[in-house]
Amino acid sequence: MDLQTSKIELAKLILNLENPSILQKIKDLIQSQYEDFGEELTKSETEEIEIALNLLDKGSRTSFDDYLKKVS
């Protein structure tokens, strides 16, 4: 499985999660990794990530199919 396919599969799993504690653990893990490479991101990329994380915190999510329709 290539990297892009792995990312899509992971996104599908995350989008279907309903357990807030698991979502928080995933968020914490990603943020801990983000701190390592965060300096390499542009200001715009950093802002987009923060917006997305805030939306997830508020329970806002989009089904994977809807996302694909939006970006296609």
pLDDT at 38: 60
Q: Tokens 């997830």 correspond to what residue?
A: 56
Which has more pLDDT, 14 or 64?
14
Q: Tokens 């994380």 correspond to what residue?
A: 53
pLDDT at 53: 87
N-to-C CA span, the chain:
22
Question: What 8-state DSSP symbol labels residue 19?
Answer: -
What's the mean pLDDT in 50-54?
87
Structural domain harbouring 62: 3-71
pLDDT at 19: 92
Res 34 pLDDT > 70: no
Domain count, the chain: 1
What is the residue-averaged pLDDT of the chain?
Answer: 85
Q: Is residue 23 within 8 Å of 17, Cβ to Cβ?
A: yes
